Amino acid sequence: MKDEQEKNSTAETQMTADEYAEEIKKLKANSVSKEEYEKVLADKKTLAKALAEGTDIPESEKQEKKPDIKALRKKLLSAGETSLSNVEYVQTALELRKALIAEGKKDPFLPMEIKRKATKEDYAGAERVADFLETCLEDSKGEDGKPDEIMFNALLSKGLAPDSPMIARAAQEWAKKLKK
């Protein structure tokens, strides 16, 4: 009788992999990283101190530090020499993109403008790529708030379409073999 109750209770609490993944997504959507939380607490203390003392907010608190575009480019272009992981490479590329756009420079995710100007579709496509990469980074974050390399690579691979019909056919054949 006791064994039956234990079996029933474990059967009720077990979730499928999809339910588990969905639950993790919900938790991630409603939480912030430890670094963000600590930054907000530090800002709160600084603002409360300034309010209590009747002083102005320090200039360093008012303006965030601008990213160094040259350093970001150097880091990105020397990725083969410095062994950047895929996560580090994508984070650096997205950070560089945001910095360039903030300064009014061309979005590096747009096609080269050799023979034609970028179209609305090009801008939308560049934004979709950036959103996809940011989603992969966010969805791959572990409990420590940092992206997990394996999870990131899996999400990235899952979201990328095959380059050619030959690769698509090979993927379909491989999937059929796995089902057998």
For Cα atoms 39, 136, 15, give the angle at the middle one, nearest 5 degrees: 95
Spatial separation of the C-alpha atoms in residues 5 and 149, rounded to whole Å: 41
Cα–Cα distances (Å) from 84 to 37, 75, 76, 134, 151, in that order, read 27, 9, 8, 17, 16
User: Among candidates 51, 49, 103, 40, which has minimal Cα distance to 73?
Assistant: 103
pLDDT in tens, 98-119: 999 988 888 898 888 777 788 8
pLDDT in tens, 104-162: 888 898 888 777 788 888 898 889 999 999 999 999 998 888 999 999 988 888 887 66
Residue pointed to by tokens 């899952």: 158
Whether the full predicted model's pTM is greater than 0.75, yes or no, is no
Spatial separation of the C-alpha atoms in residues 6 and 68, rounded to whole Å: 59
Residue type for position 115: K
Report residue 11 as tokens: 């059967």
Q: Report domain extents, the chain.
A: 66-179
Cross-strand bridge partners of residue 141: 147
pLDDT in tens, 8-65: 555 456 777 777 777 777 776 667 667 777 777 787 788 777 777 777 766 554 456 6
DSSP letter for each residue of the chain: -HHHHHHHHHHHH---HHHHHHHHHHHHHT---HHHHHHHHHHHHHHHHHHHHTPPPPHHHHSPPPP-HHHHHHHHHTHHHHT--HHHHHHHHHHHHHHHHHTTPPPTTSPP-SSS---HHHHHHHHHHHHHHHHHHHHTB-TTSSB-HHHHHHHHHHHSPPSSHHHHHHHHHHHHHHH-
More confident residue, 4 or 42: 42
